[in-house]
Each structure stands twice: as C-alpha cells, then as structure tokens.
Amino acid sequence: MNALESLRYFIPETIVLAGAFLVLTLDLFLRPKKVLAALSILILIAAAFFSFSLPANPHVFSGFFHLDSMTVFFRLFSYGVVALTILISTCYRAIENKFEGEYYSLFLFLALALVLAAASANLLMIFLTIEFISILSYLLVGYEKKNERSKEASLKYLLFGSVASAMMLFGMSLVFGATGSLWLDAIPVTLAKESAFFAVALTGTLFILAGLGFKVSMAPFHLWAPDVYEGAPTPVTTFLTVGPKALGFAVLLRVLVGAFGWFRFEWGPVIALLAIITMTLGNVTAIAQTKMKRLLAYSSIAQAGYILMGVAAGTVAGIESVLYYLVAYALTNIGVFTIAIVVANQSKNDDIESFRGLSRRAPGLAAAMVLFLLSLAGLPPLAGFVAKFSVFAAALQVQLYTLALAAALNSTVAAFYYFKIVRLMYLVPSDSEQTVENPAALSFVIILLLAGTIALGLFPAPLMTLAHNALPL
Amino acid sequence: MASHLLSWIVFTPLIGAFAVLFIPKSAAEFTKWVALAATLVTGLLSLFLLTQFDRSLGTVQLTEKALWIPQINVHYFLGTDGISMPMVMLTALISILACLASFSIDLRQKEYYFLFLLLETGMMGTFLALDLFLFYVFWEVVLVPMYFLIGIWGGPRKEYAAIKFFLYTLAGSLLMLLGILALYFHTDPHTFNVLELAQAHFTVKFQKFVFMAFFLGFAIKVPVWPFHTWLPDAHVEAPTPISVILAGVLLKMGTYGFFRFAYPIAEDAARWFAPYMAILAVIGIVYGGFVALAQTDFKKMVAYSSVSHMGFVLLGLAALNQNGFNGAMTQMFNHGTITGGLFLLVGVLYDRAHTRDMTAFGGLGARVPLYAGFLVFFSMASLGLPSLSGFVSEFLVLLGGYQYNRVLTAISCIGIILAAAYLLYMIRRVLLGPLNPKWAALEEINTREIITLVPLMILIVLFGLCPRLLLAYMTPTLNGLLQSMGGLAL
C-alpha cells in the first residue's frame, strides 16, 4: 500500500501530529497554559476514537509499518499513558509557565513516536522510531532547566542512550549481513535457507537486544535508570517508567518472537538469565533507598525483570502475559507516582519519610497507595496479581523452573520494601498534623487508576481477551 | 438463599466491612456493634449451614460454581464437606468471640473493624474455595489485614512481628503458587478444580514436587518446626482478639491445606513424606513443650504450647489411618476452642495488670477466684484432662500414631507430660502462693469477658463427653479421603 492510501488508516496519528503543531503554535498566543493541556488531552481522545479501523492488508506505507491488532493495542496504550501524564503534569509545580505549552506538544510528538515504534516492520524503521522516542525523552528529562539534577540526568540519559543506539545499529548491520534483509518478516525466511550465518545473526540479535534492553531498563543496561528517574521532573519519570518501557517490550516482542522466534531456544535462556539478574538487582537495591523516586526507579527495574519472564517464554501465553502485565503495571505505577507527586507537593521533598502517618492526614490517599503497592507486590485480588500470575504461568509452561523460583523469591523481597512505605503510612505516627492538599485533576487520575487496578484484578477476562486478540499471529 | 448459602457466609463479613467504612464520625460508637452484627449474622448463616449439611454423605455439598476467568479455566467454586464444615463453624464462632473481645480497643476503631471483617471473609473463603486459584486469592487476602492488625494495634515490637509474619507467609505461599501452576499445566484439559485434580493420577516424581511446594506453604502457616519462628513474635505482639484468631483459625488453615489439597492430590507423595512429617511433628511437640516450660511471658508460653499442640495434628496426618485422621481433625477444632480461650484469659489479665510476666503474679486465686476458675478449666482442657475435648483428640492421634510408629508416638507422649508441667507451673506462679500485694486491687473478670469464654467452655465439655457429635460430621469425608489414598477405613 502506498503512502497516500495508507494515510487513511493513520488518521489517529495524523490528528496527533497536527495537534502537536497546533499546540506549539497556540502556545505563542495563549496565556493560560492549562488550556493547552486540556486541548492536548482532547486531541488524544479524538485520536483514540479513530483507532479501530484496520486495513485488510496490515502492510502500510510500502510495508514499513504493519498496522495490525498489536499496533492498535499499543496505540490505545500510548495515547492513554500520554493523556494521563499530561493530566498529572498540570499539577506539577516545577515546570515554568513560559515553557509549559512546548512541554505538552513534546508529549504529543512522543505519543506519535510510541505508536510508530510499535508499528515498525523494518529494522531501520525500528531504529529511527526508537531514536525519535529517545530524543524527545532526553529533552523532557532536562525540562527543569534551572535544576542542576535535571540537566545532569538529561546528559546522562543522552550518553547512555547514544551508546545503546550505536550497539543496536551495529547489531542490525550484522543481521543485515547475515540475512541480506532488514524486513522483519523476510529475516526468518532467509535464515531458514542460509543456516551458515546463524552465529552472525544470533550475535546481531544480542546486540539489538542490548539496545532495546536499554529502553526497558534491563540489567546490565539499567545503570542510567535510577539517576535519570530521580533527576527528571516527576511526571516525566512517571511516563518514562511506563511508556518507552512498554514500547521497548513491544519492539522486543516483534523482533525476538516475530523475526527471530525461530531460534527461541538460543535467546530464551539468555533472556531468562537477564530477567533473573534484572529483578534481583532492582529489588535488592530498592531496599536501601530513602528517596521515593529512587525506590520506585529500582522497583520499576525489578518489574521489567518480571515482564521479561513472558518474553523469555516466547510463547503465545508469554506474549499475552507481557501485554497484560504492561497494562496492569501502567495503571499501578502511574497511580503510585501520582500519589508521590501529591505528597511531595506538600512536603517539598522526595524522602519516603514524608509518607509518615499519611493514613491520619489523608486516609483516602493512603488507602489508595496501599492498594497500588499491593498490586505492585502482586497480591490478589488486584491487577498486579493476575499479571504476575500470567508471567509465572508462561514461564512454568515452558519449564523455566529456575526463573519462576527466582521470581517467587524476588516477590518476597519486593514486598518488604513496598511495605516499608505501608509501614510509614499506617504504623508510624505522623510528626505533623498538616492535611494533604489534593488537586481535583490528580484525585481524578487516582480514582480512575484505582478503579482500573481493582477491576483488572477481579475481572481479568476482558483484558485477557484483548491481549489475546492483539497477537500479531 | 439456600442456593447461595456459602457465598453469603463468605461475603457477609465483607458487606459488614464496607458498612463499617461508611459509618459517619458522629456515630462512631456504633462501629463495634455493626461489626458484631456482621459476625453474628455470619454465625447464624453458619448454623443454618449446619442444618442444610447432610453429614451422612462424605462428599462435597452445597456447591456453587460459576465461570470466572474462561481463558485459564478458573471458576468461582465453593463447596463444603466434613473437612471444611467444622472449620467454618470454628471460624464463625471464634470471629464472634474475638469481635466481642475487641470491644476494649479504642484506637482507630473504624480501621480495626474493617480489617477484622475483611480477615473473616478471607478465612471463610479459604475454607470454602474448591478452585485453587480462588483458594490462593482468599489465602492471600488473609495476609494483608493480619499485617495491619498486628502492626497497628500490637505490642511494643509490633512492626517487627507484623512484617515477619507477612514475609514468612508470603514466601511460603508464593512457592505454593508455583506448585499450583505446575498442577495446572500437568492436567489435560488444564484445570484448577480441586475435585478434578484429586481424580487425576500424576507420576510420583511430579507428586513429590507438588507436595513439597504445598508443604512449604502450609508448614509455615501451621507452623511446623523449624518454620515456627514467626509464631511467638506474632502471637505475643498481636492484640488479644487477633491472637485468638491467629491461634484459633489461622494455624488451622495450614493443616486444612494438607487435608484438602496436598493429601488428596499427591497421595503417593504424602505416603512418601509421612515419616518425615511424623518426625517433624514429634520434634515440634517436644520442642514446643520444652520451650513453653522455659517461658516467663504468659502469652509466649501459650504461643509455644500451640506449636506443641499443632504437632499432634501433624502426627495424626502422618499416621495416615482412620484414628490419626479423626484425631487430627478434632484436634484442629479443639485446639481452636481451648487455645482461643487461653489467649482470651491472658488478655483479661493483661488488660488489668499491663504485664504478662508470670513471675510478677502470685496468689491471684484468692483475689480473683472467678478468673482463676476459668483459667484452671482451660488449662486442664489444654493439658488433656479426660472428659474435656483436648483429651479426646490427642488420645485419638496417639492411637493412630501407635498403629503407625510406636517409637515416635512414645516420644510424643513427652509433649503431654510437658503440657501438664508448664500449665500447672503457670497456675502455681499466677494463681497460687501468697498474694503479691501489688495486685491487691485487681479487678475480677467482667460479664463481657465471661460471655466470650462460656461458649468455648460448653463446646469443650460437650465434645469431651460426646466426641461423636463432632466426629459424625468429619468421619464420612475422612474415610473417603483415606480410601482414595489406598488406606483402610474401618
């Protein structure tokens, strides 16, 4: 399908792209910047509204993108996550009014980039879209322009990201050398014929894995994450722990399971091992943290480890579990960060100590936080439990016993530090009587996410069906 | 209503919990009454269950089944038989009494009763679920309220005790989850249905794997020596009503798990593991007894006596014969009533004296004779005085144990002697001797506290004199279980 015909199916993306420029232009004239936030959210809702029409032939734009049900899944996911992030950002104080409009339009561009990454059908296109996401992320991380930490984080992110991109590109060149193709659907066909280049292709795959591992904060490519997450403006951190990570997994699934599913038994154990390292490093390091954002940073690294279990399985159940996990994780993690923003707005710092006695000062907020943390810890009957259950099941189905056992033990360690926060909120008396002020927008986000977390835990069937239908097979 | 009786029993406390949540601040004094009403209604429903239950059948009755998650074949599946029914009755009773005993708690009442009722829903669900997924959900639901109940309303080291309890149990249950998933994938079509799993025949090697996964989960809960270290901490730090629930119901969830899941599903592995189980049981019986003897803290003594008494349940399980099973099941029930009563009595004393150090008392028998009477009664029941229920169940276990292994049974008798020793020693230190002048003004036990104790006493005497009343409900199911495991049922 040529570009013009394909545009018909890219209406949502066209809306988002036009919307991004519109917001950028309006920013020059409009004073009250919150209007721009509202407009951006409306644009995303409008785009989501047009998301469901699928072409008969998924290969659009001369085959560079495939517009299949998996793309639609991640399209809705991305728009949802970006819309929530924008909503949270309106209540974040550290972004200067002068730059606020630009900030929202950057997020709209980012929404576009995420969808394109999920849709890419060509290694080169994957590289371009991942870079698109990365560059926008670097900008947003450094958005608190007068904050040294924010700038430092941005620079660190840029340096690490560049190395990762270079590795990924190198890997792609190896794959191209071995197979003579950059098309995801052509690679397995060539490989089946040219078995002589197996080793080269496998090496190339591992390099690509390194590049994507950077995006999903997989050990040993996670080192940037804590510093960047801590330095970035909190709404951006929220977004980074969810959006690019999820899309990293989408691409990982497309590349590993889609194109290289053929030698699943070669890369499967590698991913399983990396999953164990990732979750263990994340969990063990999280225990000692005293800053909320850092604790959540390590927690999100550990969560990436659990999600990798589904990738390591590489089966249909594995992919489904990854998709389910990503949604459950997005709901809970954005929820936790939103509450962290509310609390930090009041205490003016990021210490987990500021959660002291929250159950007395803001009972509703504390209860919501407990539910989110329980979901992150994987306790029933919440979304996180079903998610964890699914990845466990996926791993056990293909006899990855060590991985499942390691994950079980890790979950206990994780419960320990999640309960550190619960303990502060409920067991420790507060030193101040100050109540916590909670802006309406954030309350709305929290209630929405909480409802989702509980609903996905009690009634997981609809999302499971959705994840099943999203399979690219 | 009869068609959804079990669901009502499980979720009535939850409805009560949310009712508690919506009580306005101006009507805060009604909180406890609403909670009590919820437990009472659950109790009445359980009594109704007693009338609906056909005890001559050994099979699962009053089942409710609805598809919950079709993709992975998970059902909302409840049902009851001779193993779970007594546990449901015990839970209902202990919950009412513990709720009544909670009336002296003033701190953060709303949260307290919400969590308390949530806990009851979790316990009821655990005993009634017949789908492993559903069972796991309820099993974990018990964990979280317990953490808060110990952590907020507990004693000086409450935070440590709460997180220790939580992490210990969580680790065990996650390993159990792996076992559950392994079972699921080894059946065709994949299922979590306990009844279907019990019918399936697995290889011995696989059974051993599953059994060990379940064993770790359940053994931590019982607790089996050497997994018992969370128990003294949790018991001692928990507030009185929660100690009662811990000892009365929560510990039974572990042994119930053996009866319901581990034994029927992995019968060959159960037979393979029986000697080890028996050895661990006897170690627990003797070790728990000796450690209890060494305690000066009243509550800690009762806590360790639980380790010892729960050992008898395990010994009965390991014996794999009719007397052993009957003894284990009755011991589960009787230990709940007896030790529940003892914890209540420890709480009565602690509320007044604010210490649990037994050496600090003395001569209380003269000062508070009514209290002394109750304490002596429950101590006698606990040490196995014939005509009280503790004797019956321990005797049955020893009978079954004797058929199984004489040496181990002989050793476990030391536990009974030790029970007599530490309980009588406790009575001497607390009730007898010259009155410590410090307690000259100690108040007598009040009516509310007596109300919490009398139902337990009635049951202890009743089942001590006429154990058939209790056994009649259990035996058909236990015989069925034994037969399916290839044992002899007389």
What's the pLDDT tens digit per position in B223-237?
Answer: 898 899 999 899 989
Q: Which residues of chain A have pLDDT under 50?
A: none
A to B CB pairs, distance under 8 Å:
74
In tens, the pLDDT along A1-17 reads 777 778 888 888 999 99
Mean pLDDT of chain A: 89
From A96, A119, A142, the end of a domain falls on A119
From A87, A119, A151, the end of a domain falls on A119
Q: Are residues A180 and A238 in the same domain?
A: yes
- Return the pLDDT at B488: 55
Q: Are residues A141 and A29 in the same domain?
A: no
In tens, the pLDDT along A198-213 reads 888 888 888 998 888 8
Inter-chain residue contact B170 with A411, CB threshold 8 Å: yes
Q: Are residues A167 and A275 in the same domain?
A: yes
Determine the residue of chain A that is closest to B156 in CA distance: A427
Pairwise CA distance, residues B378 & B6, whole Å: 32
Structure tokens at B228: 């018992």
Q: Are residues A182 and A271 in the same domain?
A: yes
- Check if the beta carbon of residue B330 is closer than 8 Å to that of residue B474: yes
Q: What is the distance between the terminal CA atoms of chain B, rounded to a whole angstrom?
A: 37
- Any alpha helices (H) in A180-291, and if so which ranges? 187-193, 198-215, 224-231, 234-252, 264-287
Pairwise CA distance, residues B133 & B128, whole Å: 12
- Return the pLDDT at A259: 79
Pairwise CA distance, residues B351 & B301, whole Å: 18
Once rounded to an integer, what is the mean pLDDT over residues B24-44? 89
Q: How confident is the model at residue B291 (pLDDT cuts 50, 70, 90)?
A: very high
Q: How confident is the model at residue B128 (pLDDT cuts 50, 70, 90)?
A: very high
Neighbours of B193 (CB within 10 A): 19
Q: Are residues A235 and A302 in the same domain?
A: yes
**Type of residue found at A367:** A
SS3 label, residue A65: strand
In tens, the pLDDT along A308-330 reads 999 998 888 899 999 999 999 99
- Return the pLDDT at A162: 92
Strand partners, B357: B297
Residues of chain A neighbouring B166 (CB-CB closer than 8 A): 415, 419
- Check if the beta carbon of residue A168 is closer than 8 Å to that of residue A229: no
Q: Mutation target for A interface from B126, B139, B177: give the one with most A CBs within 10 A.
A: B177
Neighbours of B147 (CB within 10 A): 25
Beta strand spans in B269-413 (E)? none
Sequence-ordered list of residues with C-beta below 8 angstroms from that of A391, at least 6 positions apart, any chain: A306, A307, A309, A310, A313, A318, A321, A322, A325, A407
Closest-CA residue to B258 (of B183, B202, B314, B206) = B314
Q: Mutation target for A interface from B20, B174, B212, B220: give the one with most A CBs within 10 A.
A: B174
- Return the pLDDT at A95: 72
From A119, A139, A167, the end of a domain falls on A119
Mean pLDDT of chain B: 90
In tens, the pLDDT along B328-341 reads 999 999 999 999 99
Residue A372's domain comprises 120-469
Strand partners, B80: B61
Using CB atoms within 10 A of its CB, is residue B203 exposed (0-12), middle (13-18) or buried (19+)?
Answer: exposed
Q: At residue B1, does pLDDT exceed 60? A: no
- Return the pLDDT at A472: 66
Q: Are residues A181 and A101 in the same domain?
A: no
DSSP for A234-258?
Answer: HHHHHHHHHHHHHHHHHHHIIIIII
Residues of chain B neighbouring A392 (CB-CB closer than 8 A): 177-178, 181
- Return the pLDDT at B308: 92
Q: Are residues A126 and A107 in the same domain?
A: no
Once rounded to an integer, what is the mean pLDDT over residues B124-146? 94
**Type of residue found at A353:** E
Q: At residue B490, does pLDDT exceed 50? A: no
Q: Which pTM value belongs to this model?
A: 0.93
Inter-chain residue contact A379 with B144, CB threshold 8 Å: yes
Inter-chain residue contact A408 with B181, CB threshold 8 Å: no
Closest-CA residue to A16 (of A49, A43, A38) = A43
Q: Are residues A233 and A353 in the same domain?
A: yes
B163 vs A380, A419, A460: nearest CB: A419
Closest-CA residue to B222 (of B265, B188, B262, B187) = B262
**Strand A59-60 vs strand B61-69: parallel, antiparallel, or unpaired?**
unpaired
Q: Are residues A180 and A54 in the same domain?
A: no
- Check if the beta carbon of residue A101 is closer than 8 Å to that of residue A127: no
Torsion, Cα of B170, B171, B173, B176 (10° steps):
170
Q: Are residues A62 and A143 in the same domain?
A: no
SS3 label, residue B61: strand
How many separate domains does chain A show?
2
Q: Does residue A264 or residue B98 have the better pLDDT?
A: B98
Query: What ipTM, to 2 d.p.?
Result: 0.92
Residues of chain A neighbouring B69 (CB-CB closer than 8 A): 460-461, 464
Q: Are residues A294 and A260 in the same domain?
A: yes
Q: How confident is the model at residue B487 (pLDDT cuts 50, 70, 90)?
A: low
**Strand A59-60 vs strand A65-66: parallel, antiparallel, or unpaired?**
antiparallel
- Return the pLDDT at B489: 46
Q: Are residues A300 and A282 in the same domain?
A: yes
| Alpha-carbon gap: B108 to the closest alpha carbon of chain A (Å) | 10
